[in-house]
Structure 1
Amino acid sequence: MATQAHCAYCFESLVASLEKRPSLTLAQVEHLWAKYNSEPTTTSELEDETEAEQAEQAALASASASVSADGSYKPAAISRILASPPSSASSSSLQSASSTPSGPSSETPSSLTSQSSSSTNLTDKEGEEEEEEEHPLFVTWNTISRSGDKRLRGCIGTFEAQPLTKGLSDYALTAAFDDTRFSPITTRELPTLECAVTLLTDFEPVDDAMDWEIGKHGLRISFHEKGRRYGSTYLPDVASEQGWTKEEALVSLMRKAGWNGKKADWNKVSLRVVRYQGKKVGLGWGEWRSWRDWVDEEMADV
């Protein structure tokens, strides 16, 4: 399953490309994203957690449950900050465990390389080698207007399994700069952007073109007509977002492929249909920017 850390990595790859600087690796982004989301971010949150822990301490005082071995007590928020950083791996089996750079957009900045052995623990532990997860994937860029309207700005992916470190970075840039339906994304557009990642799974050929569920399955179709081959795909969220019936989705998918036959004749075409699954996960610019500012502060403190 895709994660917001994957989206953050796509933003990191795009911004690094526009700023002509090296990008954090996927492993670094996953680690820092987990650390950022595990820590209280405001004074009020720290106070709330401290008060809650103090109340728990009072309730358990008679049993000495809240007293540590040395007789001192640390609120959970402070203990968490002092504890070792969380692992970059999550419960999702689809997150990457590799920190190997792959291409210019994922090289490790020298400032981070010099800190790899520090308490920030940005790289994998020495000697730990895990095979990187590979998945077919799509990266989608949307623009969000001030009124909240969402518009597609670029979407490109692949049905070939990709190592996530390279695949997410490559297709984040390809969708941003090389989707021929749109002009390349520029720096001034960044504050309006939302990134979404879909990792594709469970590919199943079906004999009946209607054998799929709206909101659950994406579709990949191919067919031949008059000596020409057609093909196109819709991700699992498209039909439900558009409010289409199955028939409307299939006709639209055929139109997308370039078919210009009569709408009523769509079922006379011999379609080869493959259904697949994949949950889209999104992240807005504001969320990414707040995280990236926190990362910069973390680096400054080391």
Structure 2
Amino acid sequence: MSTVEHCLYCLEALAAHLEDRKPMTLDQVQMSWAEYISAANDADDDADELAKRLPALRRLAASSSSSSTAASASSSSSSSTTSLQQQSGVATPATSVSSTPPPTIAESPLFVTWNTLSGRGGEHSLRGCIGTFEPHELGEGLSSYALTSALQDTRFSPITLSELPSLEVAVTLLTNFEDAADPMDWELGKHGLRISFLYHGYRHGATYLPNVAPEQGWTKEETISSLMRKAGWTGRRDRWRDVNLKVVRYQGREESLEYEEYKRWRDWVVARQEDK
């Protein structure tokens, strides 16, 4: 399962590259984030007052003082992309600080996606997405693919330093690879797809991560048709079933983080270093 720390690490890798400085290691990011969380929890403010002012803590307080449904409890603590609010100089993360940490993953297939946020509603525009289906050690893999997807995705120009404030990064660690019995043997929102097929004497292939189809509002058939187009198929859309498709389904939960939230954490890290 991808984590906030994985997202921080990708942003740190890209920011350090563009700022021409040495990046923190994944271990350093993870340790620093734990200290950051602890500092937020130790803020010398009355909990009730904090609950009034901070949406994340207000939701946590509500869930602990009333019989919330399982769905609402999950919704209140599921997203790390809710803004981090500053309190006593320390931003309070929107993730539940009392939740059990996810199990540590040493290596995994992975994808790193960059989006540009624009407008008042924070509309998302894809800025780069590259990954690997081969397991990589996360310290090396996340850093490498963070830079590759930001700078070498041929669909886009390389991300520049001036773009950092508008960026969001998303990390997906891939698991549970299975051969699908047929092109429809998968679930929307649960499975990502990797397809391959022969067309005009060449083998073609493409993938969509689990979140793509729900975000686009596609049906399963629309997802398969679009994925085939992505792979290079130019036949009639209503004839896609004539192609002998090999479909591999997989799972992976995406975690995302905006640069603004990374910057709050990074500023805290720098301030601590200066105080030492």
Q: Tell me the residue number matched to 2:44.
A: 46
Q: Per-residue displacement from partner, 1:136-193 (whole Å, max 9, x unpaired)?
A: 0000000000321110000000000000000000000000000000000001100100
Q: Tell me the residue number matched to 2:181.
A: 207
Q: Quote the Cα distance in structure 2 between the aligned partners of 1:280 and 1:221.
A: 20
Matched, 1:146 2:119: yes
Q: Quote the Cα distance in structure 1 between the aligned partners of 2:244 and 2:38.
A: 52
Alpha carbons of structure 1 residues 51 and 150: separation in structure 2 relative to 1, 3 Å: closer
Q: Per-residue displacement from partner, 1:241-273 (whole Å, max 9, x unpaired)?
A: 000000000000000000000111101111000
Which has the larger share of strand? 2
The alignment of Structure 1 onto Structure 2 pairs a total of residues equal to 226
Matched, 1:91 2:101: yes
Q: Which amino acid aligns with 1:194?
A: E
Instruction: Spell out structure 1 runs of 4+ moving beyond 4 A.
Output: 49-52
Q: Is the 8 A contact 1:6 1:168 kept in 2?
A: yes
SS of 2:188 mapped into structure 1:
coil
Matched, 1:261 2:235: yes
- Pick the structure with greater CA Rg: 1
Q: Per-residue displacement from partner, 1:104-149 (whole Å, max 9, x unpaired)?
A: xxxxxxxxxxxxxxxxxxxxxxxxxxxxx11000000000003211
Q: CA deviation at 1:226?
A: 2.5
SS of 2:134 mapped into structure 1:
strand
Alpha carbons of structure 1 residues 51 and 205: separation in structure 2 relative to 1, 3 Å: closer
Q: Per-residue displacement from partner, 1:190-246 (whole Å, max 9, x unpaired)?
A: 010000000000000012110100000000000012211110000000000000000
RMSD: 1.7
Matched, 1:35 2:9: no
Q: Quote the Cα distance in structure 2 between the aligned partners of 1:242 and 1:50.
A: 40
Q: Is the 8 A contact 1:204 1:276 kept in 2?
A: yes
Q: Quote the Cα distance in structure 1 between the aligned partners of 2:227 and 2:126.
A: 17
Q: Quote the Cα distance in structure 2 between the aligned partners of 1:233 and 1:23.
A: 30
Q: Which amino acid aligns with 1:11?
A: L
Q: Is the 8 A contact 1:13 1:173 kept in 2?
A: yes
Q: Tell me the residue number matched to 1:180.
A: 154
Residues 73-112 of structure 1 correspond to what in structure 2 (within 5 A)? 91-95=101-105
SS of 1:16 mapped into structure 2:
helix
Alpha carbons of structure 1 residues 277 and 286: separation in structure 2 relative to 1, 3 Å: same
Give the TM-score normalised by the residue count of structure 1. 0.72
Q: Quote the Cα distance in structure 2 between the aligned partners of 1:286 and 1:166.
A: 24
Q: Is the 8 A contact 1:223 1:230 kept in 2?
A: yes
Q: Is the 8 A contact 1:221 1:232 kept in 2?
A: yes
Q: Which amino acid aligns with 1:6?
A: H
Alpha carbons of structure 1 residues 206 and 50: separation in structure 2 relative to 1, 3 Å: closer
Q: Is the 8 A contact 1:236 1:278 kept in 2?
A: yes
Q: CA deviation at 1:300?
A: 1.2
Q: CA deviation at 1:38?
A: 2.2
Give the TM-score normalised by the residue count of structure 2. 0.79
Q: Tell me the residue number matched to 2:270.
A: 296
Q: Tell me the residue number matched to 2:7.
A: 7
Q: Is the 8 A contact 1:2 1:94 kept in 2?
A: no
Q: CA deviation at 1:20?
A: 1.1
SS of 1:39 mapped into structure 2:
helix
Q: Is the 8 A contact 1:40 1:46 kept in 2?
A: no
Q: CA deviation at 1:47?
A: 1.8
SS of 2:9 mapped into structure 1:
helix
Q: CA deviation at 1:34?
A: 1.5
Q: Quote the Cα distance in structure 2 between the aligned partners of 1:231 and 1:294.
A: 44
Q: Tell me the residue number matched to 2:110.
A: 137
- What residue ranges of structure 2 are gaps of 5+ in the alignment? 51-99
Q: Is the 8 A contact 1:141 1:195 kept in 2?
A: yes
SS of 1:230 mapped into structure 2:
strand
Q: Which amino acid aligns with 2:220?
A: K
Q: CA deviation at 1:51?
A: 9.0
Q: Which amino acid aligns with 1:12?
A: E
Percentage of identical aligned residues: 57
Q: Tell me the residue number matched to 1:225.
A: 199
Q: Quote the Cα distance in structure 1 between the aligned partners of 2:115 and 2:41.
A: 27
SS of 2:158 mapped into structure 1:
coil
- What residue ranges of structure 1 are gaps of 5+ in the alignment? 53-89, 96-132
Matched, 1:22 2:32: no
Q: Which of 216, 221, 238 is residue 242 of structure 1 equivalent to?
A: 216
Q: Quote the Cα distance in structure 1 between the aligned partners of 2:119 and 2:270.
A: 28
